[in-house]
Amino acid sequence: MKLLEERIRKDGVVKEGNILKVDSFLNHQMDVALFNAMGEEWKRLFADRPINKILTIEASGIAIAAIVAQHFNVPVVFAKKAQSVNLDGEMYTTKIESFTHKRTYDVIVSKKFLSSEDHILVIDDFLANGCAVDGLIDLIQSAGATVEGVGIAIEKGFQTGGKVLRDKGIRVESLAIIESMDASTGEIVFREQ
């Protein structure tokens, strides 16, 4: 998606350790008009899929998913990062080990909001090693629901997350895929798509 690539080039900041800061339009200050255009694009890309719910994970995914959901006219459920899991059977739970954040989270979704009837579009801001998306897919599978696809704003194509998901047959639509980036020059190379 050219609009997003141009915005990353203009306002993204490449940090050491292969981290891209996009705080000025995505992760802290948020450009809602851009999110809206992203929603329009995912709606076009997933037009053939019977999506009835969007699933994301807190924190940064929520705002994007909420704007995107207006294009699909479906509810958004966000998985919560829990301090401790109360194993009372009312929640689907999984563990997400984030390489990026160097921590492990318990992640939960109430059984009230995911069922075997659901056809889910997963939305998130970044795809790096894919631990967050793997966790969300685990929750969807626990509920017996169907993963219709994964929509990612920015995929770091030099990390393994996207390839692993696509190799499993999951449809991943990333609106910008970064092939490489250089913290010393600030240069960002996008994958042609």
Residue number, 27 or 93, with CB nearest to ligand G4P? 27
Query: Quick check: 130 binds ligand G4P (CB under 6 A)?
Result: yes
Q: Per the structure block, which two tokens stand in for 136?
A: 């969300």
Residues facing residue 108 across a β-bridge:
80, 93
Query: Quick check: 126 binds ligand G4P (CB under 6 A)?
Result: yes
Least distance (Å) between residue 85 CB and ligand G4P: 17
Residue number, 93 or 98, with CB nearest to ligand G4P? 98
Residue number, 131 or 137, with CB nearest to ligand G4P? 131
- Build a one-symbol-per-residue string for 77-106: x at contacts with ligand G4P by CB under 6 A, - elsewhere: ---------------------xxxx-----
As a whole number of angstroms, the distance between CA 181 and CA 14 comes to 7
Taking CA 34 as the corner, what is the angle to CA 153 and CA 192, rounded to the nearest 5 degrees? 45
Could you tell me if 179 and 145 are in contact, meaning their C-beta atoms sit under 8 angstroms apart?
Answer: no
Could you tell me if 90 and 120 are in contact, meaning their C-beta atoms sit under 8 angstroms apart?
Answer: no
Amino acid letter, 91: M
Q: Work out whether the CA dihedral 80, 86, 92, 97 comes out positive or negative.
A: positive
Among 5, 118, 124, 148, binds ligand G4P (CB under 6 A): 124
Among 67, 91, 131, 137, binds ligand G4P (CB under 6 A): 131
What residues between 10 and 69 interact with ligand G4P by CB under 6 A? Answer: 19-22, 27, 57, 59-61
Q: Work out whether the CA dihedral 186, 176, 29, 31 comes out positive or negative.
A: positive
User: Where do contacts with ligand G4P occur on this chain (CB under 6 A)?
Assistant: 19-22, 27, 57, 59-61, 98-101, 124-132, 156, 161
